[in-house]
Amino acid sequence: MSDGLDIPVCAQCGLAAFPPHLACSHCGSMSWDSVVALTGVADEITVLRRTVGSDPEAPAIALGSVRTQAGPTVIARLDLEVRAHDEVELAVKRGVIRARIARTRSGLRSSG
């Protein structure tokens, strides 16, 4: 599990974009840096209860549209206690972007 979520930032104009792109939509640069977004705000949340082909007995899961401190909005798996507009901590665990209620940290960190 890694703390935070890597957010690509255009090396030329500073536009943050997620998911990663080949070229910056603002200036066309193909050079990217990144920052680590440690936190964000869960702007909207939903409870996914069923999908086509899913096991009807499978437990519901919480998902959120999380506006990261770096700017881009990401879709994350939420801890069930997260409510809309909560500040959340971001992490990546086994390839899954996760968010839980923020407790101690806030903001951005330079990557590397």
Partner 1 sequence: MIDDVVVAGAAEVPYIRRPPPGVTTPGLLAEGLRLALESAGLGHGDVDGLGIAAFGLGPDHVIDLAWHLGLELRWMMEDSNGGACMNMLAHAVRAIEAGDAEVIALIAGDCLVGDRFVELASNYNQVTRDYLTPLPVGGPPALFAFTTQRHMMRHGLSRAAYGHVVASQRDWAARNPLARYRAPLTIEEYLEAPMVADPICLFDCPPVAAGADAVVVTRAARSTGRRVHVRAVGCSFNHDQHLGDGLSTGVARIAPGIWETSGIGPSDADVISVYDDFPVMVLVQLQDLGVIEDDDVARFIVEDLATHRVAVNTSGGMLTVGQCGPTGGLHGLVECVRQLRGEREAGQIEDARIAIVVGYGMVLYRFAACSVLAVLEAV
**Going along 1-112, which residue ranges are E strands?**
2-3, 5-10, 32-37, 39-48, 61-68, 73-78, 87-93, 96-101, 108-110
- Report yes or no: 11 and 32 within 8 Å, Cβ to Cβ: yes
Q: Tell me the closest approach of the beta carbon of residue 44 to partner 1, in angstroms.
A: 4
DSSP 11: T
Q: Which is nearer to partner 1, 30 or 84 (CB)?
A: 84
Count of residues engaged in binding partner 1, rule: CB under 8 A: 27
Tell me how far, at minimum, the Cβ of 5 lies from partner 1, in Å. 10
Q: What are phi and psi of 54, to 5 degrees?
A: -80, 160
Residue 25 near partner 1 by CB under 8 A: yes
Q: Nearer Cβ to partner 1, position 78 or 102?
A: 78
CB of 69 to partner 1, least distance (A): 16
65 makes contact with partner 1 (CB under 8 A): yes
Please write down the long-range contacts of 15-21, taking CB distance under 8 Å and 24 or more positions apart.
16/70, 16/71, 16/72, 17/72, 18/68, 18/70, 18/72, 18/73, 18/74
According to CB under 8 A, which residues from 33 to 62 bind partner 1? 43-44, 46-54, 61
Where do contacts with partner 1 occur on this chain (CB under 8 A)? 17, 19, 25, 43-44, 46-54, 61, 63, 65, 73-77, 84, 94-97
